[in-house]
Structure formats: structure tokens, C-alpha cells
Amino acid sequence: MSFSVPELEDAEVIFDIGYNAPVSHPLVARHIVRAKKKGCKIICVDPRLTETGRIATIYLPIKGGTNMLFLNAMAHVMVTEDLVDHDFIEKHTTGFADYAKEVAQDKYAPEAVAAATHLDPDDIRRAARLFASSKHTMTLWGMGITQFSQGVECVIACSNLSLMTGNYGHYATGVGPVRGQNNVQGTCDMGVLPNQYPGYQDVMDDEIRHKFEKAWGVSLPSHVGLPLTYVPDKVLREPDPKKRIHAYYIIGEDPAQSDPDLPEIRRTLSAIDLVIVQDIFFNKTCEYADVIFPATAWGEHNAVYTSCDRRFQRVRKLIEPQPGCKTDWEILCLMATAMGYPMHYDNTEQIWDEMRSLCPKFAGASYEKMVENHGVQWPCTEDSPDDTGTQYLHKGAHFATADGKGHFYYYPWTPAKELESPEYPLSLSTVREVGHYSVRTMTGNCRLLADLADEPGYIQMNPEDCQELGIANGDLVRVVSKRGHTITRCQETDRVSKGATYMTYQWWVGACNELTSAALDPKSHTPEFKYCACRVEKIDDQKQAERDVKAQYTAIRSRMGIEVKEV
């Protein structure tokens, strides 16, 4: 994220695309609401009418899977109506002329994309003018653009809009990929990526690799590792037994619930020789585990978490862990030692300081500074007290590229990989809901939250689709895709368009990942969770279906060792 979350309150325009803050990040949503109260204008681009859409100045109910067409149309208006910041482009960017020529093509005129995007051309023109009208336009995007086979390119297209309008490099402007989990930014910072060491240092760079080799007394591979989503391929379809994956060590992840195409994931997990799961709860993947390491949860250990705006924050232990549980870092030290690499630390600060000594971007972010300054935002390069970190990136529009400039890249639209067909006439997108968290290990057994929503979850459908299928609100329905099927409840709502359906991925019985496609973005290797084709089937015997759901839920909970006290 180039800016800091609180800066949102000083935005003049917020461009929100494929991001549902009120559900996913209620604290960010508060800043958006405060900005609106101060007069900020909001553009919201989401195929479902979200709460942000409801309070938006311009709400654009885009047809799912057409983000790039829309973004190129936004750029088209900015270029052809000459709304761009020539001075900024001249001084701080490269590649604009070529880019402008591409997006100026007639095929990107709002009138030309209207049919495919389902958007009113005038609304697109108004949105482009509003975006370009301010130097305090702040962009927020979420999974609604990234969880597509064209995710990365759409992110770049969003960045182009900011570059072309001079919305980079000063307070209350820039781009905000609002990171998902509380510490997903932290795991990336610490190098839990196949291509980077801690501090965003390239594994292919010899000098960097030698630095880590020297510090750790080991030799490190000079190639990029494997992304998570390639595991099924490397287990089920790798012909060379030497290259096949034989062991899978899973820390804080539940692929048997959260990865796409679960039928394939089950085959994968069953085929691997050794599965180790390190988790704070028994999750669905534990059913395939040969070894389970029980880890401590937040509140039971000292740690540093990074928020989406690059802020390192100290988190302190509040209670003693249950007997038998160890912190994640202690388990990793024991594993490394058992495998012949003695690894020992006395506490997390020692680990942190070693990491700082190897990562220039984080070098100045000591525990002491984090406490004194309520966290430290990276880059923080100097140990001296004067360097308290970086509130927003690219100050003065100096970019982190070799030539210090922002680069324009043009991409044509590529549609989602699986589209509606006569057999599967509806589109399915999978999203989040406010009361439950990702794989639901942490929220599924809380009675208060179960009162908000419980198994088998729901599928949001437009009233016209319900009527055509003879399905009533609350009915149990069967949802079927090319890969599998699941049972869930119909939630009739005119917040979604005809032909489009939405499920949340938190449910164990109503698991939407039985249906989703494992088509990947070739650059980020992220699955296309936001688009596949499905059909919804009416279930005639509702009473029997209710009994089946209950029985399935009881069976899953019993396998997970969850005791349910009926009240």
C-alpha cells in the first residue's frame, strides 16, 4: 500500500474497486465513512451492491470478470478528454505515449464497452472525470480484481490511472491493495514467498543469496521455489518421481477448505507421503495429516504483526498457552534442529534483530522504536531515533524502479477462463461475510457468531433467477459446477444481478471450493476464485435435505474433535 489507512479521511475522491471494506475490514470502512462525512466523493465498482456502493457518489455495478475492459475505458476517457496531468507524466513517468495510443482506441470508448461491462457509458465518463479531478484521489482494491486470471494486470491498470492523474507521491493519494489477513503483509515481509527472502530481496540475486548463506552458514538454492497453487500439479501430474512433492509442511493454512477445486485437493493430500499440519485448531487439512504440531495463538505469544499499511506492531503475550502447545518459532527451531541444523533463539527480539541485520528496508525498526512510536512503518532504514519510518511511499514521485520513474503498461482484456454455458448457465463468485473468518476454525464455534449465520451458508441469487428455478428464499439448494457440487441455502437479494451468484467460502458443509476453478493468474499464481460457471438445482424434499445437512455438520465436527453442547 503506498499510503497509510488513516490518510483515507483526507481523500477527496475514493476509487473503490472489488473491495468490500464494511464486511472485510470494518476498521478501514470507518475511515471511508469519516471521509464521506468530510465531503469525499466515492466511486464504487462492484457487481454486488455493497454498503460502500450504497453510500457512493457513483456506483458502477460492473458485470463480473470485465475489470480490465472497464479500467481501459476509464483510461480512454482520461486520455481522449485530456484529463491527464501532463507535467507529472513528463517529469515522473515513462511509456505514456504508447499506452495512451492503445487505450485511445475506439474499442475502449465507454459506449463500446457498455454491453460487455453492463455499465452506463455516462457513468464511466462521470467516474473518470471525478477520478481525474483531484490530487487526493485514493484507490482501494481487493480480491474483486486480484482473484482473477488477469489479476496482476488489473492492478497495474489501476496504478496507471493514478500515474496519469498525478495521484502519487504526496499525502492522501496513491494506491491501496488492502491486504487480507491481519498479518499477511507480515508473512510477505518475512519472505514467506517462493521468490523472495525477508525484506523483499530476490532469491535469484547472487549477492543477496550469498549474504543470507553467510549469515546462516548454509548453501541456498539459486532458483525460485514453488507457489502454493502448484502443489496439486507437482503431486498428481509430475512424471519425474524426483521432482514430485513427497512432503507438505503446512503452517497456519487449511488447503482442504481454502484452496480451489477441493476434489483435486483431497486427491493431492491423500497422495502425498508426509503431511505435517501446524495449527492452533484441528482444521479440515488435519484429517490428512501424519503429524500435527499444536501452536499457540495470538495472545499466547509475543510477536510482531504488519498491518496492510506496512506498520510493524508489537503484540504481547497475555495468557499462558495450553500445555503441549509451543509457539510457531519454537516448533520451527525444533524441526530445524532435528533435521540437522541446530537453530536456537532465546526470544522473538533476537529473531527480529537478526532479520533487521539482513534487511536494509527494515534495519531501523527496533522493538524499542515500535513501542515508542506505536509501531513503525517500513521502509525504516536507519537505526537512529530520527528515522521513525515511512508514512507514504514514493515521496516526491520518486519510484522504486531502476530509473526512479513510474512505468505505464498496457494490457488488453482477457475474459475469465470458465464462462457460463447451457449446462452451467450462472456465474459464481466467492466472497466474504462479516461474521465469519476464512476457514472458520477461529469463528465457527462461537455461538454468538453462529447466530449471525450458520451451516450450510448461503448463495446470493437475484429474485428473477429464483423465480425461474422455483426456489424460495431460505430453501436448501444444490449448486453444481464442472468440478463438484455442494448444498447451501438460497438467499434472494436484488443486490446481485440476474445470472450472477455469490457464495462465501467459510462453510464446511456448504463449501464453495468444491465448485471453484483452479485457473491461475500466470504472474501471481492466484486462483480465479471470483469467477466460474455453475447451475443451481432445486431440492424437492427439503425436510430430508435439512436432516442431511445436520448429519453432515455433526460428522465433520466429530472428525474435527469439536464438542457441541446443545442449549
Ligand X SMILES: Nc1nc2c(c(=O)[nH]1)N[C@H]1C(S)=C(S)[C@@H](COP(=O)(O)OP(=O)(O)OC[C@H]3O[C@@H](n4cnc5c(=O)[nH]c(N)nc54)[C@H](O)[C@@H]3O)O[C@H]1N2
Residues forming the site for Mo ion (CB under 5 A)? 180
- What the block records as the C-alpha cell of 43 is 466511486
Q: In the complex with ligand X, which residue's Cβ is closer, 93 or 149?
A: 149
**Measured between alpha carbons, how far is 566 from 527 in angstroms, rounded to an integer?**
38
Does 254 help bind ligand X (rule: CB under 6 A)? yes
Which of the stretches 249-257, 341-349, 390-398, 404-412 binds ligand X when contact is defined by CB under 6 A?
249-257
- Please check whether residue 273 is in contact with residue 246, taking contact to mean a CB–CB distance below 8 angstroms: yes
Closest CA to 371 of 300, 313, 319: 313
Which of the stretches 64-72, 188-196, 373-381, 550-558 binds ligand X when contact is defined by CB under 6 A?
64-72
Which entry of ligand X, Mo ion, none binds 312, CB below 5 to 8 A by partner kind?
Answer: none
Q: What is the bridge-based pairing of β-strands 137-141 and 13-17?
A: parallel
With b for 16 or more beta-carbon neighbours within 10 A and e for fewer, the 295-321 pattern comes to bbeeebbebbbbbbbbbbbbeeeeeeb
Q: In the complex with ligand X, which residue's Cβ is closer, 76 or 436?
A: 436
Smallest distance from Mo ion to CB 181, Å: 5
Does 294 help bind ligand X (rule: CB under 6 A)? no
Question: Which residues in the 452-471 window bind ligand X by CB under 6 A?
Answer: none
Exactly one of 73, 163, 308, 439 binds ligand X (CB under 6 A); that residue is 439
Residues 6+ apart with CB under 8 A from 272: 235, 245, 246, 247, 248, 288
DSSP codes joined into one string, 335-393: HHHHTT-----SSHHHHHHHHHHH-GGGTT--HHHHHHTTSEESP----STT--B-SSS
Does 268 help bind ligand X (rule: CB under 6 A)? no
Exactly one of 373, 381, 438, 493 binds ligand X (CB under 6 A); that residue is 438
Smallest distance from Mo ion to CB 326, Å: 26
The residue type of 232 is: P
Does 251 help bind ligand X (rule: CB under 6 A)? yes
Does 441 help bind ligand X (rule: CB under 6 A)? yes
Q: In the complex with ligand X, which residue's Cβ is closer, 155 or 358?
A: 155
Rg (CA), the chain: 24
Question: Which residues in the 138-177 window bind ligand X by CB under 6 A?
Answer: 142-145, 147
**Measured between alpha carbons, how far is 383 from 436 in angstroms, rounded to an integer?**
40
Does 514 help bind ligand X (rule: CB under 6 A)? no
Alpha helices in 38-108 (DSSP H): 51-54, 67-80, 86-92, 96-103
Which entry of ligand X, Mo ion, none binds 328, CB below 5 to 8 A by partner kind?
Answer: ligand X
Q: In the complex with ligand X, which residue's Cβ is closer, 64 or 169?
A: 64
Smallest distance from Mo ion to CB 262, Å: 17
Half-sphere exposure of 314 (CA within 13 A, CB side): 17
Q: Return the sign of the alpha-carbon dihedral for residues 426, 427, 433, 436.
A: positive
Orientation of helix 67-80 relative to helix 121-132, angle to 10°: 60
Does 62 help bind ligand X (rule: CB under 6 A)? yes
Smallest distance from ligand X to CB 124, Å: 13
Exactly one of 41, 43, 58, 64 binds ligand X (CB under 6 A); that residue is 64
Exactly one of 150, 162, 429, 486 binds ligand X (CB under 6 A); that residue is 429
Which entry of ligand X, Mo ion, none binds 411, CB below 5 to 8 A by partner kind?
Answer: none
Closest CA to 358 of 555, 190, 240, 567: 190
Does 48 help bind ligand X (rule: CB under 6 A)? yes
Exactly one of 513, 520, 532, 534 binds ligand X (CB under 6 A); that residue is 513
Smallest distance from ligand X to CB 317, Å: 12
83 burial class (0-12, 13-18, 19+ CB within 10 angstroms)? middle
Which residues in this chain contact ligand X in the complex, by CB under 6 A? Answer: 17-20, 23-25, 45-48, 50, 62, 64-65, 67, 142-145, 147, 180-181, 251-254, 258, 278-281, 283, 295, 297, 328, 429-432, 434, 436-439, 441-442, 505, 512-513, 516, 529-530
